[in-house]
Chain A
Amino acid sequence: MDRDKGWNPYLAGGLSGLVSILSVWVAGKYLGASTTFVRTSGMIERLFDPDRIARMEYFIREAPKIDWQWMMVVGIMIGSFIAAASSGSFRLQAVPDMWRERFGPGVGRRAVFAFIGGIIAMFGARLADGCPSGHGLSGSLQLAVSGYIALACFFLGGVVAARIIYGRGGSR
């Protein structure tokens, strides 16, 4: 862990802020990620029942297609891989360290929690119309009222969940 320090988070965060500015300037696009899951879901469901998907209101609004944001989300994975592989911090890991300390190395329990957490998180993100990227970063930086309310609710819900899962106090 100590050999795997990474950059100063202020520097990395500030540089990512420049990426945000450039993206808005050059492409007219604000960062976001959760709509991509809707589009992908629609693309997968369309394989089974195209007529039904074509009629569904939400998939008419957020058409199941590959767009700017879809490519950006794929890009995040590639960029992360490049950064990790070039600095030797790429590591295949089935269970995060903190999780392992509390619940052991079992993959099953982690998979169930992550899967259910994913369902709840994405349902909430769509209801809120954004995630920590769309509301938390892009909304806040534009001084949108919705961005700050969402950010507060994200953290409040997250702190409650973490407290329930890990209990009071810390493992340290």
Chain B
Amino acid sequence: MTDLVYGLITGILFGFFLQKGRVLRYDKQLGALRFQDFTIIKFMLSHIIVAMVGVYFLYDLGLVKLSIKATILGGVVVGGLLFGLGWGMLGYCPGTSLGALGEGRWDAIWGIMGMLVGAGLFAEMYPLLKATVLTWGNYGKLTIPQVLGVNHWLVVIPVAAAAAVFLVWLERFEARAARMRTEAAEGVHTPGGK
């Protein structure tokens, strides 16, 4: 019961920030996939940087456990690509579909229904997939520090730094793209007036 209450509170907070960050919308998700609007990238990387440092700090204090998903190349690569294709069509991911519904974007309902069907379909095919795709390239539960054989902070800090550098570059890229759009628009409209 406590678990359920924690879940609800966590979701309410997460949903609140997702909406405030404006990452729930179709236009934002497709905007990123079309290289036009990088709001969701900024949101996700900020989340990852903050939570990565926090979780590993608590991990060192013995206060939290990690929960690593297995690296099964067949499942992750094939499933990941399929997810991406479907995501591009739907424009919402599983978590954000409910959030989009919460802010009134009710086309998410079609996606939620589709995702329920997709989950059912997967459950039907699971015995077959488990014997095939999900056996390809199974490396078990693997983290980058394990692969490199180094202390996790030697990965946390470079990853956080790389993400920060990437975000700075992204801001400059956006500013340049915006400037080019303005100049192009002026070039078209100025001579004849609008």
Give me the interface of A with B, judged by CB distance under 8 Å. 5-7, 9-31, 33-34, 36-38, 40-42, 44-45, 56-59, 66-84, 87, 89-99, 107, 110-166, 170, 172
Interchain nearest-CB distance for A6 vs B (Å): 4
Interchain nearest-CB distance for B118 vs A (Å): 3
Bound complex: CA of A81 vs CA of B26, how far in Å?
A: 16
Q: Which residues of A contact B117 (CB under 8 A)?
A: 41, 115, 118-119, 122
Tell whether, in the assembled complex, residue B95 and residue A76 are in contact, meaning their CB atoms are under 8 Å apart: yes
Question: Does B172 reach chain A (CB closer than 8 Å)?
Answer: no
Interchain nearest-CB distance for A37 vs B (Å): 4
Bound complex: CA of A137 vs CA of B21, how far in Å?
A: 15
Tell whether, in the assembled complex, residue B71 and residue A133 are in contact, meaning their CB atoms are under 8 Å apart: no
Closest B residue by C-beta to A155: B84
What 16 additional pairs, Cβ within 8 angstroms, besides A19-B10, A34-B119, A93-B107?
A14-B47, A25-B63, A29-B10, A58-B123, A68-B4, A76-B12, A77-B101, A79-B102, A80-B99, A80-B100, A117-B114, A118-B86, A129-B76, A131-B93, A145-B147, A164-B88
Interface positions of B from 7 to 57, Cβ below 8 Å from A: 7-27, 29-36, 39-40, 42-52, 54-55
Tell whether, in the assembled complex, residue A21 and residue B94 are in contact, meaning their CB atoms are under 8 Å apart: no
With A13-B43, A68-B6, A141-B48 as known contacts, state yes or no: A156 contacts B14, CB within 8 Å. no
Bound complex: CA of A122 vs CA of B139, how far in Å?
A: 23
Interchain nearest-CB distance for B45 vs A (Å): 7
Q: List 23 A-B contacts (CB under 8 A).
A: A7-B20, A9-B43, A28-B65, A40-B119, A41-B120, A76-B99, A78-B8, A79-B17, A80-B99, A81-B15, A91-B104, A93-B106, A96-B30, A98-B27, A110-B110, A120-B85, A123-B118, A129-B69, A129-B79, A141-B52, A149-B80, A155-B33, A163-B34
